[in-house]
Structure 1
Amino acid sequence: MIAGIRFLRAWLRTFAGRCISIGLVLAIMASACLGQLTYIQLLNGRDTALAATQGRTWKVAINAKRGRILDANGTVLAQSVERYNVIGVPQAASEFKPITCTQETKSRCHQIDGKPVGATGAAAVARLVSSVLGTDPLELGAKLNGTGQYLIIKKDVTPEVMRKLEALHLGGIIYGELTNERVYSGGTLLGPVLGGMTDAGVGASGLEATLNKTLDGTDGYEVYQRGLGGEEIPGTLTESKDAVNGSDVKLTIDSSVDWYVKNALLEGKKTYNAAWAIAVVLDLRTGRIIALEDTDQYKAGTQDAMLHTSRAVSEVFEPGSIGKVFTMSAQLQLGLNKITDRFSVPDHITASGQNFSDSFDHGTERWTLAGILQNSSNVGMIMSSQKLTNQQRYEWLTKFGIGQMTGLNLPGESAGILTNPASWDLRTQNTVLFGQGYATNALQLTNAVATIGNKGVKPQMSIIDSITDAKGHVTETKTTGSQRVVDEKVASQMLDAMESVAEHYSFVKVPGYRVAAKTGTAQVAGPDGQLTSIISDWSGIIPADNPRFVVTVVMKDPQGTYGGLTAGPVFAKIGEFLMQKYEVPASQPRRNAIPVEW
């Protein structure tokens, strides 16, 4: 009995000790927790709250819209449209569990074509998203199966597609980043002229590149807190900066004319089996280029358009007999000859030990200076230019813009080739009189011929009409580079002589309208490096009695060879369209033409 009592007392002492020990441990732990809670809430509460806020705070970019490129009539040629990059959050996707559709959950449940998703995690998200985007669900599921926070699933989806994705109820897992996509409405019209953009949204070629600073805007941003579903928490916007859109650029190009010119060139290329064809249409009243085309088929915005330049800008060639216009103008302006001076012209001549001939056999013809131009006589040009020094021959070509940049600042433009007269050999010093021995492009050639139609003043051409900034302020392009080259009387005489040239080609007609023109045919190097290719061209002023347009057509290796037989009919087709579209009054009958024979 006594032993039992002793045992009970010992056990109670041990049990009490254990209880006291456990109580002390629990008390210490409670004190530690209370201390930590006190530290977090009282001493470190501000930092903790700040960290939580920062975790919910997002700085979201607001993309500025790039400016549009418009034609002369306001038709949109290039514009940026609203698009979205679809973004996935792999970590959230891996934890996703679809909500079964019931009467209570139908506004937030998940299904595909009315059926259960049939999976969980990244696989379920992939199946849902692929049902809208048409992507491979297995491939997408593999990409979403991870711990990342940012995965670009697809770029540049339309707002309509983005709304369908939002209807999947995948907030916090799938969301869209607003962006822009550059679209071009004209297909192959002006393809390399407009150029294209890099993936980063920077102009890579064409006008997109040269006007990049003008077209490009300044992005803005918003700083706010997001909920668990990725949505903005109302009232949490703390900072913002508005995006400033880029400026719109209006061109001088009339897209309806450009379209017609493009098709006329393609038809001409096919008819004459040419390698390529180029055309430029210039409005003499304003110096504005209203069409600039070739037969290349590169769509704006594509890699092809970005890897090539407009042939009308970059292709250089010997203009052939069109160059006689510039030489003869120099003779008249310097007083070395009169337009009515009489020459007895054979079909061949030897000058500086070199033999030259006309393009056709003929006896000794009695031509005036105007007749030499009408019959495009190389021999006559050499005979009439004996007093014209090599330095003068060079200087007058430069005055007409040969070997000079046009000032249009178009990518890929070549200044052409016009070497210093000190480097000319005995043959070149005479071939430059009739458009060989130097090279130009279609724009420069058009501008040079426009000098005659513009009463002796070489106009400053333009391709930019105006710029309108994001606030609607319009800045019109001012052209100040016009230069007088010859007197008005000289220009009038040359215009008259060029009209006789056009009349010589009776099959090149624009009914109701007089035309002043010059044709050219020049041998150029072919693929083998030899003079086995032909450039055929025609540059004309219409109407001749009241100049309104200059149209230049250039063809490479056409069947028919001569510019009057190939490029001429294409010019007539374009000229007739221009007269009708712009309702140009019909010409008055020609009177008192300068004699071409004596």
Structure 2
Amino acid sequence: MRNGVDRTMKAMARRVIVVGVVLAILALACLGRLVSIQLLEGKSIAQAATASRTLPVTISANRGRILDRNGTVLASSAERYTVVANPEAVATFEPVTCTTKTKSYCHEIDGKPVGVTGAAAVARLVAPILKMNAMKLGAIMSVSGQYAVLKKDVTPQVMRELDALNLGGYIYGELSSDRLYSSGTMAGALIGGVNDDGDGVGGIELMENKTLNGKDGYKVYQQGNGGEEIPGTVTKSRDAVDGSDVELTIDSDVDWYVKKVLQDGVKTYEADWALAVVQDVSTGQIIALDDSDSITAGSDTAKMGVARAVGTTFEPGSIGKVLSMSGMLQTGAHKLTDKFTVPWRIEKDGQTYQDAEEHATSNWTLSGILQQSSNVGMVMAGEKYSDSDRYKFLTKFGIGQSSGMGIPGESSGTLTGPEVWDGRTRNTVLFGQGYATNVLQITNAIAAIANKGVRTQQSIIKSVISPDGKVTHPTTGKAVRVVDEDVASQMMDAMESAAEHYDQFAKVDGYRVASKSGTAEVAGSDGKLTGIVADWAGIIPADNPRFVITVVIKNPQGIYGGLTAGPLFKQIGEFLMQKYQVPTSEARKSAIPVDW
């Protein structure tokens, strides 16, 4: 019996010894590993952990504003956030019950427990603030990985409400910005818009993208589970340099009124569209540039399209007579007092030319030919005006050339050389047909007459204002003398007589006007010459030129430019004179005879 007990005790002793040895070996192994980690690998492991948390973060530069000439903000960027969740962390979320001790970091909904855990719980908490469906939010967060976007373009107020939910490490906000446009449809396509990355993709936003964008900075620091910055861990940083503000020459009050006049005009005359430009005579600055289209700045249409007022080309019709007649005077081919006997129709080199309306054979001076807008009279006067001079002066006036302002989508129009003109085109160019222009070109050509024969470089950027307030003014191209001052003065006289011909429709009370109307046939939807472009370019006041206003209208009921575009010019002219408090004109004392 005793021997049996002894054997049992010895067996148990051996097992205890074996177990003890195994435990000792395990303890020595753990101790060895601990020593290895602490003494040999500790530094590298710590460095790796720190490196995994230390990440560079871009500090976005604020995009500059677009302002009108008076400082009115047309486009600006507002602080916004992209709300992001960490799905892996969210899966482990357990709401903290609210008690007296936990009230500063607990979770509840309308004073009641959340009731669930994980993504469903987080979704229930944030859904009311983000104004999103809780089930949809839960699905977004129920994925693998550590990054899931919940909502973009969140305001700072909403972000503060999210921060108050005590969900740090589960959801966080990434700073971004949203482009806001106060201009609405006023010059909408001209201002353009930006893409999702904040880069300009249309209009002024694209044209001035580099100036507006600035330069991003960065910060390198250790991040917590939710992407938040761990205090005191910044190792490198560079401040962002905000973009500069761009101040336009546009007066938003004038542009708004111009757009209203154009849209009302399209309704009144049942037209397809209308466009207009207002230019300062002496500086070449564009005060207004708009059309009847309703395109909101920042919209997809504004980003992808081109403003009609910039991209549309057309034959200017009889406004072109001003340019040809100026060349005739400058070359000495004619004087405004030269006398002509003008029928309503003429045959020349196998081609037939006629005036817009049948009239008796009339005795007109060259000035009278402009007043009566006679195509036949221009062909007759052109006998002493060479093809090379016809082309030369159209070119000097800027026809067929870009405005030089760099507006995206601007068309240069078309003007072929005399070597390719046929027997008809060489004469139609005398009265504004056979070439195409845009509204900026024809406006600057008329402005050259108003500016004593000098064509200035047009501009739409008035200044650039850096983040530190420094103001710079972009350089503009050199002015070009097109005709002598005396020739320009004579043409002003002839244009004033032409304007008086339409006093019933386009007179601006108290102010003298020098202008010319135009009407040209254009291709319709059927490809035939079934369409009409009616236009009017006027200088106001004629005795002390301040502005040139050009109005173009497509397919108006009323057809002629003097009867359709002229009245719209009148409304815009009245507004300008009142807004800028321009002194009224002195009475016209004399005029070059228009008939004999």
Q: TM-score range by the shorter chain?
A: over 0.9
1:430 and 2:430 correspond = no
- Residue 386 of structure 1: SS of its match in structure 2? helix
State the alpha-carbon separation in 1 of the partners of residues 6 and 113 from structure 2: 69
Determine helix, strand or coil for the equivalent of 1:478.
coil
Q: Is the 8 A contact 1:61 1:220 kept in 2?
A: yes
When the two structures are aligned, how many residues end up with a matched partner? 595
1:366 aligns with 2:396: no
What amino acid does structure 1 have at the position aligned with 2:315?
E
The one-character-per-residue Cα deviations of 1:414-462 (angstroms, maximum 9, x if unpaired) are 1101112222221111111100111111000101111100000011100
Paired amino acid for 2:414:
I
2:128 is aligned to 131
Q: 1:452-463, aligned counterparts within 5 Å?
A: 452-463=449-460
Describe the SS at the equivalent of 1:113.
Answer: coil
Contact residue 112 and residue 131 of structure 1 kept, 8 A: no
Give deviations 1:49-107, integer Å, cap 9, x for gaps.
22332343343221111111111011111111100000011111111111122222222
What does 1:26-65 correspond to in 2, within 5 Å? Answer: 26-65=23-62
* Cα distance in structure 2, aligned partners of 1:68 and 1:514: 39
1:391 Cα deviation after fit: 2.0
Give the letter for the 1:520 counterpart: G
| Partner Cα separation in structure 1 for residue 107 and residue 57 of structure 2 | 28
- Contact 1:89 / 1:151 at 8 angstroms: preserved in 2? yes
Partners of 1:324 and 1:276 in 2: how far apart? 24
Counterpart residue number, 1:588: 586
Q: Find the counterpart in structure 2 of residue 400 from structure 1.
A: 397
Q: Which secondary structure state, in structure 1, belongs to the residue aligned with residue 384 of structure 2?
A: coil
Q: Deviations over 1:159-216 (max 9, x none)?
A: 0111111111111111000001111111001111111111122111111112111111
Instruction: Report SS of the residue matched to 1:87.
Output: strand
Alignment equivalent of 2:96, drawn from 95, 99, 113: 99
Moved more, 77-86 or 414-423: 414-423
CA contact (8 A) 2:105 2:166 kept: yes
Whether 2:6 is the aligned partner of 1:5: answer no
SS of 1:472's partner is coil
Letter in 1 for 2:517: T
Q: What one-letter code is carried by the residue in structure 1 that aligns with 2:90?
A: A
Which of 192, 196, 199 is residue 195 of structure 1 equivalent to?
192
Q: Which moved more, 1:163-172 or 1:96-105?
A: 96-105
2:523 equivalent to 1:525: yes
- Who is 1:328 aligned against? 325
Residues 104-136 of structure 1 show CA distances to partners (whole Å, capped at 9, x for unaligned) of: 222212122233222111011111111111111
Equivalent residue in structure 1 for 2:562, among 564, 569, 580 = 564
1:517-558 deviation per Cα after TM superposition (whole angstroms, max 9, x unaligned): 000001110000011110000000000000000000000011
Contact 2:171 2:226 in 1 (8 A): no
Partner of 2:265: 268
What SS is found at the alignment partner of 2:582? coil
Gaps spanning 5+ residues in structure 1: where? Answer: none
Question: How far apart are the structure 2 equivalents of 1:115 and 1:447?
Answer: 71
What pairs up with 1:345-494 in 2 under 5 angstroms?
345-494=342-491
Q: Which amino acid aligns with 2:174?
A: E
CA distance in 2 between counterparts of 1:147 and 1:47 reads: 29
Q: Distance in 1 between matches of 2:143 and 2:331?
A: 83
Instruction: Give CA-to-partner distance per residue, 1:215-271, whole Å, 9 cap, x none.
Output: 112211222233456543322222211111111111100111100111011111111
Match for residue 64 of structure 2?
67
Aligned with residue 241 of structure 1, among 238, 241, 249: 238
- Aligned twin of 2:118: 121
> Does 2:270 match 1:277?
no
Identical-pair percentage:
61
- Counterpart Cα distance in 1 of 2:590 and 2:186: 43
Matched residue of 1:374: which SS? helix
Match of 2:284 in 1: 287
Kindly report which structure 2 residues correspond to 1:160-175, keeping only aligned pairs within 5 A, or say none.
160-175=157-172
Contact 1:127 1:137 in 2 (8 A): yes
Please tell me the residue identity of whatever aligns with 2:25.
I
Letter in 1 for 2:269: Y
Residue 139 of structure 1 and its aligned partner are, at CA, apart by 1.6
2:492 equivalent in structure 1? 495
In the alignment, the residues of structure 1 paired with residue 525 and residue 63 of structure 2 have an alpha-carbon distance, to the nearest angstrom, of: 42
Report the CA distance between 1:276 and its aligned residue. 0.3
8 Å CA contact 2:86–2:226 kept in 1: the answer is no
Aligned to 2:248: 251
Q: Is residue 2:161 matched to residue 1:154? A: no
User: More displaced, 222-231 or 100-109?
Assistant: 222-231
Secondary structure in 2 matching 1:282: strand
AA at the equivalent of 1:398: T
User: Which secondary structure does the structure 2 equivalent of 1:39 belong to?
Assistant: helix
Pairwise CA RMSD of aligned residues?
A: 1.3
Displacement of 1:482: 1.3
1:214 is aligned to 211
Per-residue deviation at 1:21? 1.5
Deviation at 1:480, TM superposition (A): 2.8
Give 5+ residue unaligned stretches, structure 2.
none
Aligned residue for 1:23, secondary structure, equals helix
Q: Please, which of 544, 550, 563 is the counterpart of residue 542 of structure 2?
A: 544
CA distance, structure 1, for counterparts of residue 9 and residue 510 of structure 2: 131
* Alpha-carbon displacement from aligned partner over 1:545-584 (angstroms, at most 9, x marks no partner): 0000000000001111100000001001000111111111
Per the alignment, residue 74 of structure 2 pairs with 77
CA contact (8 A) 1:280 1:289 kept: yes
Cα separation, 2, equivalents of 1:229 and 1:367: 86
Quote the Cα distance in structure 1 between the aligned partners of 2:594 and 2:74: 48
Residues 358 and 377, structure 1, Cα contact 8 Å, conserved in 2: yes
SS of alignment partner, residue 118 of structure 1: coil
2:129 is matched by which residue type in structure 1? V
Could you tell me the TM-score, scaled by structure 1's length? 0.98
Q: Provide Cα deviations, 1:375-404, integer angstroms capped at 9, x if missing partner.
A: 001111011110212222112111111111
Partners of 1:94 and 1:153 in 2: CA distance: 15
Contact 1:521 1:536 in 2 (8 A): yes
**Structure-2 separation of matches of 1:544 and 1:237:** 67
Seen in structure 2, the aligned counterparts of structure 1 residues 426 and 230 have a Cα distance that, compared at 3 Å, is: closer
Equivalent position SS for 1:412: coil
> 1:575 maps to which residue?
573
Identify the residue that residue 87 of structure 1 maps to in structure 2. Answer: 84
Q: Which is worse superposed, 441-450 or 386-395?
A: 386-395
Q: Quick one: which amino acid aligns to residue 352 of structure 2?
A: N
Contact 1:171–1:230, Cα closer than 8 Å, also in 2? no
Q: Is the 8 A contact 2:273 2:293 kept in 1?
A: yes
Q: Is the 8 A contact 1:100 1:109 kept in 2?
A: yes
**1:591, distance to aligned residue in structure 2 (A):** 1.1
